[in-house]
Homo-oligomer: A and B are copies of this chain.
Amino acid sequence: MTLRDIFAVNLRRYRYLQGFSQEELAHRAGIDRTYISALERRVYAASIDVIERLANELSVDPKELLSRQKNTSKK
């Protein structure tokens, strides 16, 4: 599990928590919708600048997007 994977999962997780669609988050962060899609599918290694912008829109600390999440629904 790479950091890129963790970021992808967290991006989607926090996006859902905020109730945003990819489209809505993209609009708010000034980023293209398909690029958000690509990040969530682990296509790219996002730069620290993009991470910061997304974290701001998701109202979380950038570190949170790189933190392994506890299983809320552990087997």
Contact = CB atoms under 8 A, between A and B. Distances in A.
Contacts of A62: 3, 66
Contact of A66 (B2, B46, B49, B63): B63
Contacts of A49: 2-4, 45
Nearest to A63: B63
A73 interface: no
Given A4-B48, A7-B48, A48-B48, 6 more contacts: A3-B52, A3-B62, A47-B47, A48-B51, A62-B66, A66-B66
Interface of A: 2-4, 7, 45-52, 55, 62-63, 66-67
11 contacts: A2-B49, A3-B48, A3-B52, A4-B49, A45-B50, A46-B47, A47-B48, A48-B48, A48-B51, A62-B66, A63-B67
